[in-house]
Structure 1
Amino acid sequence: MKIRKAHLLALLLCGTLTLSGCGDNGNAQANTSSPTQQPPSPKPSVPTNAPDSTESPRPTEENSIAAQIANMTLDEKIGQMLLVGIEGTTLDESARRMISEDKVGGIILYADNISNLQGMVKLINNLKKINVENSIPLFVSVDQEGGKVSRMPKEFVSIPSNKKVGDTNNAKLAYTMGELLGRELTLTGFNMDFAPVLDINSNSQNPIIGDRSFGSSASRVTKMGLAEIKGLRSEKMIPVVKHYPGHGDTSVDSHLELPVVNKTARQLAELEWIPFQAAIKDKVEAVMVAHILFPKLDPDKPASLSKVIIGEQLRGDMGYEGVVITDDLTMGAIVKHFNLGTAAVDTIKAGSDILLIAHGYDNEKLVFNKIKQSVKNGTISEARINESVQRILTLKSNYHLSDKETVPAPDLTALNQDIRAWRQQVEK
């Protein structure tokens, strides 16, 4: 479906939206002169004992995963490519069916899913118990950045924003931030965090990034972001960097409308891409792609649906081999301009592995059925589906995910003491 031009030029006047996939609370041709050389990335001064969870699997593991995929049905493969949101603070029938019937690969929880510590842990355990009959464990994910994008219930001492930490320009504090975020999530049963934000806050009128960014310079965002990644990994938490190719220079909230950024590939390479290229060099596990139109790169499709931006630039020029995840496909930037089913097919053809469908069982079913139909009629090859499933299962294997291990509601005394002590260092 063609983009409606009026929507692209309009700045939406709106009230406060409760913060979705990339931070909402869940209630709402390539330029061939583009440099391909990765810029030098600052080396953060951080502890070096974080485990390398991103090593490629050994040949025996690769063979095992290939054999597993060969024995999967098409429905099971498609399910692995969907990461979905659920309704409410307890499991409803729609959530049960997405897990049991469609065998979705992951769940994301938002503020509306979390009432208190006991309830959150119970919900996560129940999600895993339902999925335990499936052979592949779930990604249990959340947007836990710190600052205004925080999903943890009131029992946790709050973690300040990236900007607050970025202002210290101290990579050790950013490492500890990642470590603390990882601890609070692993204690409660999560295994994937949509963090850190690698956007550079270069536009003071940006309505969605702001203090979610570590700062306005590429060097600081790179240094602090890489340190946070290592901190998350140290707690066996899967980091997902966002929002490639950069959401920092937008003046429209993509939850509501489709932002347009008129930058060339060369301009992006000189600023926005720098933190992402450094993370790719560090073999970051997953990258979330934003719903932003870059007309000078692809005049027809936003980054999240663009073969130029994902396939040619991210996977081709930058050499990224990890998991690519879309931002929430039910956001206004997509559903106001594109057919959801068509968008799902386009993003897979572009190179995405996981499609985030944050809201609506009907939306999940529509996407599931459209992908299946597209494989059956040859629009998408099953070999292309297998590529994504290989990357997804490899990541789950590398992090030894399991749904057999549930957790009790944790005692937060030690963790909260450590958060307070760290905050004193950040705020002094």
Structure 2
Amino acid sequence: MKKWIECIILLLVITIIFTGCSEKTEKKPDREFVKEEMEEEEVDPIMEKLEKMTIDEKIGQLVLVGLDGVELDDKTVELIESYYVGGFILFKKNINSVSQLVELTNSIKSINSKNTIPMFIGVDEEGGRVSRIPKEIIKTPKARDIGLIDDEHFSYEIGKILGNNLSLLGINMDFAPVLDIHSNSKNTVIGDRAFGSTSQIVSKHGLLVMNGIKDSHVIPVVKHFPGHGDTYMDSHVNLPVVNKTKEELEKLEFIPFKEAINNGADVVMIGHILLSNIDEEYPATLSKSLINDILREELKFDGVVVTDDMTMGAITKNFDIGSASVRSLKAGSDIVLVCFEHEKQLKVLNAIREAVNNNDISKDEIDKKVYRILKLKDKYNLKDNEIEVPNVIDVNNRTKELLDKYIK
């Protein structure tokens, strides 16, 4: 009887020990699960910023605009303070000297500092005949000459000079380099703006210039997808048509853009070009087939897509600019560029707002676009801080030294 009682006690002790071990074993996964949950709940600073924005602030980020003069006016201030535009593009008419340009970019940033999102301030600074910087600064060569020199160090350093010069002037975005292939000798709008007439030359030097600009902490914008090199019509005037098949485009025009995307392109500009064998109704800027299906899905581009200027003849002579801008955003673009005419800028902004209010563009889709834009601004650490006027002699010495070495 005594032994029987001792056996029962022993069994109870063993049961308690194993139950305790089991409880401890069960608690360990609980702690691991909590840790995993905490890791998953880490705050995304971009999303946090996005969630604090009003719908009007988000809509503003989808539009880049131009301005009329060499200093801010009431219309420009309204675009910043009331419409929260995401940035500005400057042209020759906005620039007459280094000191004036720095004052202008500082003014834009100062007004925008009341808003939470910093400004894009961009120009078309390709070198050669497409140059916006003040006359005091030595220009870089046209792309064709860069391609003919065919030296990797030279091309990269040209990109660094382009980016560095712009940064010293308060500019943080360069609508360059051109990745169009000059495959049509009758094409005047591209011509010597292209690095060459083969995909190899354009890819090689376009990517080197792109990386040089990027390494100067200025955002490069490769253009004009899907390729403007084989057109007769100038899209500033009317709508160019390209009758190539998709297979033909893949063997030539798409190649430099694909290479740029695979090598970290941040922004792609879409050109106003009708590719009749892909979308016979809408130019690339308005085409879901070109932007979403090919650029996004097939070429795997997940960066920011910006349109060419929506006030160009290719759009205004064939479409309503407000409806076209909405269509472009629905097709997959993130930013519409509206360079001229205040009335058209307001029309575009109001058309987008109406489309959002009518759920023609969903708020989720707006958030995806704005997230990409905010992520880009954060990547380049954009700030609305003012800068000092640079020493022009120092700026030019760097350019002169490079050109003297390669151009006799």
TM-score w.r.t. structure 1 length?
0.85
> How do residues 10-21 of structure 1 correspond to structure 2 at under 5 angstroms?
none
Number of aligned residues: 370
Of residues 139, 145, 162, the one that matches 2:120 is 139
- CA–CA separation in structure 2 for the residues paired with 1:424 and 1:258: 41
Residue matched to 1:165 = 146
**Post-superposition shift, 1:62?**
7.1
- 1:353 corresponds to 2:363: no
Of residues 203, 217, 222, the one that matches 2:198 is 217
- CA–CA separation in structure 1 for the residues paired with 2:114 and 2:198: 47
> How do residues 121-132 of structure 1 correspond to structure 2 at under 5 angstroms?
121-132=102-113
Question: CA distance change for structure 1 residues 114 and 94 in 2, over 3 Å: closer, same or farther?
Answer: same
Residue matched to 2:399 = 419
Residue matched to 2:188 = 207
Residue matched to 1:318 = 299
Question: CA distance change for structure 1 residues 299 and 64 in 2, over 3 Å: closer, same or farther?
Answer: same
Residue matched to 1:92 = 73
Check the 8 A contact 1:283/1:322 in 2, yes or no. Answer: no
**Post-superposition shift, 1:71?**
1.8
> How do residues 386-397 of structure 1 correspond to structure 2 at under 5 angstroms?
386-397=367-378
Higher relative contact order (CA 8 A, sep 6+): 1
Of residues 41, 48, 54, the one that matches 1:67 is 48
Aligned to 1:241, the other structure's residue is in SS state strand
**Post-superposition shift, 1:424?**
2.2
Question: CA distance change for structure 1 residues 122 and 61 in 2, over 3 Å: closer, same or farther?
Answer: farther
- CA–CA separation in structure 2 for the residues paired with 1:344 and 1:223: 33
- CA–CA separation in structure 2 for the residues paired with 1:88 and 1:415: 25
Check the 8 A contact 1:124/1:189 in 2, yes or no. Answer: yes
1:58-100 Cα shifts (integer Å, max 9, x gaps): 9999712112212211110000011000001011111110011
Residue matched to 2:275 = 294
**Post-superposition shift, 1:427?**
2.0
- CA–CA separation in structure 2 for the residues paired with 1:413 and 1:369: 45
Residue matched to 2:238 = 257
Aligned to 1:419, the other structure's residue is in SS state helix
Aligned to 2:275, the other structure's residue is in SS state coil
Question: CA distance change for structure 1 residues 75 and 211 in 2, over 3 Å: closer, same or farther?
Answer: same
1:195-221 Cα shifts (integer Å, max 9, x gaps): 100000111111200110000010011
1:339-391 Cα shifts (integer Å, max 9, x gaps): 11110111011100010000111111111111111111121111111110000
**Post-superposition shift, 1:425?**
3.1
Runs of 5+ unmatched residues, structure 1: 1-57
> How do residues 14-29 of structure 1 correspond to structure 2 at under 5 angstroms?
none
Of residues 403, 410, 417, the one that matches 2:390 is 410
Question: CA distance change for structure 1 residues 357 and 59 in 2, over 3 Å: closer, same or farther?
Answer: farther
Paired AA for residue 150 in structure 2:
N
Of residues 261, 275, 279, the one that matches 1:280 is 261
- 1:117 corresponds to 2:98: yes
Tell me the C-alpha RMSD between the 2 structures.
Answer: 1.3
Runs of 5+ unmatched residues, structure 2: 1-38
Check the 8 A contact 1:192/1:238 in 2, yes or no. Answer: yes
- CA–CA separation in structure 1 for the residues paired with 2:150 and 2:193: 15
Identity among equivalent pairs (%): 45
Question: CA distance change for structure 1 residues 171 and 294 in 2, over 3 Å: closer, same or farther?
Answer: same
- CA–CA separation in structure 1 for the residues paired with 2:146 and 2:180: 15
Residue matched to 2:285 = 304
Paired AA for residue 409 in structure 1:
V
Check the 8 A contact 1:292/1:304 in 2, yes or no. Answer: yes
Residue matched to 2:171 = 190
**Post-superposition shift, 1:421?**
1.8
**Post-superposition shift, 1:414?**
2.2
Of residues 361, 368, 386, the one that matches 2:349 is 368
Paired AA for residue 383 in structure 2:
S
- 1:267 corresponds to 2:222: no
Aligned to 2:44, the other structure's residue is in SS state helix
Paired AA for residue 247 in structure 2:
R
Question: CA distance change for structure 1 residues 60 and 271 in 2, over 3 Å: closer, same or farther?
Answer: farther
**Post-superposition shift, 1:415?**
2.1
**Post-superposition shift, 1:407?**
1.0
Residue matched to 1:232 = 213
- CA–CA separation in structure 1 for the residues paired with 2:182 and 2:306: 22
